[in-house]
Amino acid sequence: MASEIEDFLYYDAELLDAWRLREWFELFTPDCHYRVPATDCPHGDPEHDLFLISDDWFLLSQRVDALLDGSAWAESPRSTTHRMISNVRSRELDDGRIEARANVILSRSRADRIDVYPAHLTITLVRGGHSGFEISDRLAVLAMEQLRPHGRLSVLL
């Protein structure tokens, strides 16, 4: 199972880096959650704490549409990104889902500037879909104390 999970995470990163966001979005279940907590509260609760991103399926679809149609001005023109995935670990949960954990380093190049976003990913997967897995929960915890000098997070982790 470990190599299947690694392959899935590499495929996920490939879709994001190639800006194949609609295909990437198809990896999510209809009851999904996609969250990026604020850097000062990495283990926060989206019901009570500020999150940089806290999307359900509908909001994530709107985010993807905005990135693709150019209405997300911070990504128009879009950034060039490159993700490196490492330290992949996975375990089966009692309900048959799979929890995958990995480290990611996302480099983002745009407007003569390169920003680096290190993060810890925790992704809950269910078996199914065209890739063999679907994402029911994606949590990306930035491994940085603040977004400076970056200023914003406008790409998907």
Sheet of 133-142, strands arranged across: 51-56, 28-37, 133-142, 113-127, 98-110, 80-92
How far is residue 17 from each of residues 24, 42, 83, measured CA to CA in Å? 10, 25, 7
Ordered by where they begin, the domains of the chain are 2-142 (3.10.450.50)
**pLDDT tens-digit profile, the chain (157 residues):** 789 999 999 999 999 999 999 999 999 999 999 999 988 888 888 889 989 899 999 999 999 999 999 888 888 888 999 999 999 999 999 999 999 999 999 999 988 888 899 999 999 999 998 889 999 999 999 988 766 666 667 778 7
Tokens in use for 63? 């985010």
User: Residue 31 phi/psi, 5° resolution?
Assistant: -105, 25
